[in-house]
Amino acid sequence: MPHEQQPTLAPEPGTVSRRKLIVTGASLAAAGVAVGAAASIPFAAAESAPQDAVAAGDGPKQPVMVHLRPGGRFDVFVGQDRIQLTDHAFAARLTDAVKAL
């Protein structure tokens, strides 16, 4: 069974490069906010994210799911892997966005 990558170095805001990741929707859950790939909210991704999954411009080649956990922590699911990162700024933006729902 594929292993999860953890713990992964969590880049702080400002140290990550910016790529566009398209997000289709968001849903509030007890643990946080789950966000799917493929729509419209810009996302600050980690350098360690799989290159083929978050290629700039034309979106990921395979589905990417992002789960926002408390504390600005993100689980990013792609293929059979998971990476973890922390981005307080993006977490705050997402939280503000779903508050409007």
Residues lying near another protein in the complex (CB under 8 A) are found at 1-4, 24, 34, 36, 38, 62-65, 67, 77-82
The dihedral of CA 11, 13, 15, 18: what is its sign? positive
The CA distances from residue 99 to 10, 50, 65, in Å, are 25, 30, 20
CB of 20 to another protein, least distance (A): 17
Identity of the residue, 4 or 93, whose beta carbon is nearer to another protein in the bound complex: 4
Q: How far apart are CA 46 and CA 81, in angstroms?
A: 14
Of the candidates 75, 86, 89, 96, the residue with the CA atom closest to the CA atom of residue 4: 75
CB of 1 to another protein, least distance (A): 5
Identity of the residue, 42 or 63, whose beta carbon is nearer to another protein in the bound complex: 63
CB of 64 to another protein, least distance (A): 7
CB of 14 to another protein, least distance (A): 28
**Start-end of H helices in 4-101:** 88-99
Identity of the residue, 43 or 77, whose beta carbon is nearer to another protein in the bound complex: 77
